[in-house]
Structure 1
Amino acid sequence: MLESVTATALSSALDGLALRQRAIADNIANINTPDYHAKRVQFEDALRSAVSAGSGDVDATTERSLEPTRLNGNNVNLDTETLSNIDTVLRFQFATQALDGQATSITKAIGQASA
């Protein structure tokens, strides 16, 4: 597909959201693991800056959560993970639809140009 800032940004967003989905799954899988600290994936601020600069190409980063821990040293909160999962799924669907819309527009434009 033809590269544009929008397409690059959407691709970066999808990569970041996929990484966040894996982190959420890891967090939930380790909810009872002593001394496990939840993972948090960040990319939105970097993506916003990259788009403003005309790029849209960023890599997501994973950090350990600094939220308070329970007595066993674990800080995974199932409510937080569930809400984050719902938000991530909705954002992924939105970004996928936006990227699909761009591809459809390009396909239509190519079809009209060859007609």
Structure 2
Amino acid sequence: MVLFGGTIHTLQNSLDYAATKNRVISDNVANVDTPNYKAKGVSFKNVLSNAMDSTVQAQKTHSKHISFNETDSSVLRVTSNQQTAYNHNGNNVDIDKEMADLAKNQIYYNSLVERMNGKFGSLQTVIRGGN
């Protein structure tokens, strides 16, 4: 039995994603001048497989591809792009991109917090009997 429905669980997962993304962006910004540092990113691990119909068969053609049938409970995955280098020292952090991503993630996080507050406000109203 789900006590509050799936909405709060979904909001919790989304907040976890936003917090992890913020940490990864902060790491990237902190290492903007570190030689050979490769920028990291965050992705939902099984979003596509959960959204797709289970009858679709996916073939894993590379060892770094995400498996569609893993049952790992971890939804988030931190990835690193090893293929590029924007700076002469092998670093691939683009500070403008990171700052834009940080602003976008902050707006996303704030909207999730507002939605969570609205959900708990509704529950509080119900508990108080509509007062």
Q: Please give the range of the TM-score, normalised by the shorter of the 2 chains.
A: 0.7 to 0.9
Relative to the length of structure 2, the TM-score reads: 0.73
Equivalent of 2:120 in 95, 103, 113: 103
Whole-Å separation in 2 of the counterparts to 1:73 and 1:21: 23
Q: Deviations over 1:32-75 (max 9, x none)?
A: 1111001101128728937xxxxxx8621100025621221110
How many pairs align? 110
For the aligned residue pairs, the C-alpha RMSD in angstroms reads 2.9
Equivalent of 1:79 in 84, 96, 106: 96
* Residue number in structure 1 paired with 2:8: 7
* Dislocated runs of 4+, deviation >6 Å: none
Relative to the length of structure 1, the TM-score reads: 0.82
Q: Is the 8 A contact 1:36 1:75 kept in 2?
A: yes
Listed as ranges, the gaps of 5+ residues in structure 1 are 51-56
Based on CA coordinates, which of the two structures has the bigger radius of gyration? 2
Whole-Å separation in 2 of the counterparts to 1:17 and 1:31: 21
Q: Deviations over 1:77-105 (max 9, x none)?
A: 00110000001000000000001100000
Identity %: 29
Listed as ranges, the gaps of 5+ residues in structure 2 are 52-72
Whole-Å separation in 1 of the counterparts to 2:124 and 2:36: 51
Q: Which shifted more, 60-69 or 91-100?
A: 60-69
Gap change, CA 1:45 and 1:79, over 3 Å in 2: farther
